[in-house]
Amino acid sequence: MRALISVYDKSGVVEFAKTLAESGYELISTGGTHQTLSQDGGLEVKQVSEVTGSPEILGGRVKTLHPVIHAGLLARRDSPEHQAELAEHKITPIDLVAVNLYPFVSTISKPGVTLDEALENIDIGGPTMLRAAAKNFPSVAVVVDPADYGWVADRLKGPGLSMEERKGLAAKAFLHVSVYDAAVTGYLNSDAGPEKSPEKSPEVPPEGLPDDVALSLTKVTGLRYGENPHQQGALYVSPSLGSQGIAGAKQLHGRELSYNNLMDADAAWRTVSDFGQQTVAVVKHANACGLASHDDQVQAYERAFQGDSVSAFGGIVAYNRTVTGASAKAMGPVFYEVVVAPGYEPEALETLKKKRNLRILEVQAGEMQSPYDMRPITGGILLQTPDVIDEDPAAWKTVTEKSPSEGELNDLAFAWKAAKHIKSNAIVLVKDMALVGMGAGQPNRVVSVHLSQRTAGDKAAGSVLASDAFFPFPDNIELAADAGVTAIVQPGGSIRDDEVIEAANKAGLAMVFTGVRHFRH
């Protein structure tokens, strides 16, 4: 019996190889693995070049890509023709392969990695051997995970591997290769390589969507549970899509994250990241119940909190600037589940860490978005480009007799961006660059208008309103006017636009059309 061992991760490989040798396996290996087994482990190991009769060439790029190796892996043991050919060419079958691959993902994750460095860490021989061995799993055991060395060795010393165990190892090998290939695909499709052209920036939605998407998921960590305690939950990342944002956040403090924590933290981070000015969001159930921009961070936080101080309890707070010590102290009286920011002043961390269970997440600012927005449905996945588009409020069309003032236009621009991150049918009321009322997720828009006014109360007077989609009837406008709203931004495009505009003119409101809709289901 013969075993071929060629691993980048050498954890436990010496002990595994010793067990194989004791079980009667002849060992063959390559380069660094050969040195580890022979010199560190004191084992008798043949170089692959001895077996093939061909030297390693091209700086090690070609080692195992040889008929002697792959015929030994692929030959069917139940085929007289295959066995006759092996005998004719004096090729010995290979009965076990232990291989893991060059560290491509860790290489491309390093700051400043070059394209040449990335390409040199694309493994060719390893995946080829894994696929060959896994294809012939009834005869060839394939081990890709060092965690499997122990139990595989025990089986080989005893009754041997069952067909189901061999099949499971083969599936694991194919999965390992598919994840690896997806990481390479994602890298080459991204802007990470210096050869990529600037027009392929992920901020510019690609024209059309691909026929095929390489998607494989790697588990990062388990979660306490899913949305509810009876559901299991875990966080996975896809190398093909990158692991930026909340998935790559560093937890600085607090108890274990839950599924809902991550969902809400992602909504909060997406929201504040969309604003250039210093902005703070308070999110509950994936919707911003508080949102404000202000040059003074404490003011931004206080205004966001006052947007809906009742709903803020148990919510998630996100900042798009480093959290100051003063802001951390301002948050003190309120119970929050998570705080998310690109950084924290030492004084802020000291203050926040006094709350034992508060989860503190640090997310690298300026990370690029995933090129796709994916949503699972039964039996498939919906895929779309992100809702990212350059919008200039100066280009919006005023459709009423009254035009918005400069102050109103600033608030309308803020409200329009806020509505983009709130579940449809989204209505937001904004005053002085702060959210004062919000209605979301309702089956009809007029209910959302009612809810936004109820939340805002007296603060609705003098506010502006944003609607993520057009108003189908003038009753929404009449309600807004009764509450004291002075200006409205909406996409326009309803068959009743004329009636809606007439209602706005009758109430003395300013209204602008953007020509763009921002539904978020």
* Positions marked catalytic: 135, 285
CA 30 to chain centre: 36
Can you give 394-419 as a three-state secondary structure string?
HHCEECCCECCCHHHHHHHHHHHHHH
Question: Cα dihedral sign for 353, 224, 366, 428?
Answer: negative
Can you give 441-505 as a three-state secondary structure string?
CCCCHHHHHHHHHHHHHHHHCCCEEEECCCCCCCHHHHHHHHHCCCEEEECCCCCCHHHHHHHHH
Give the end-to-end CA distance of the chain in Å, rounded to a whole number: 59
Q: ω into residue 425 within 30 of 0, thus cis?
A: yes
Q: CA 215 to CA 239: how far, in whole Å? A: 8
Task: Please report, as a single letter, which amino acid is at residue 68.
Answer: V
At which residue do the structure tokens 């909340």 appear? 246
* CA-based nearest residue to 36, from 75, 10, 68, 67: 10
At which residue do the structure tokens 């002697």 appear? 68
* CA-based nearest residue to 301, from 275, 270, 324: 324
Burial zone of 251 (CB within 10 Å; 0-12 exposed, 13-18 middle, 19+ buried): middle
H/E segment holding residue 280: strand 279-284
The answer for residues whose C-beta is within 8 angstroms of residue 339's C-beta and 6 or more apart is 316, 317, 318, 319, 323, 331, 352, 358, 359, 360, 361
Q: CA 195 to CA 508: how far, in whole Å? A: 55
Residue 460 and residue 330 in contact, taking contact as beta carbons nearer than 8 Å: no
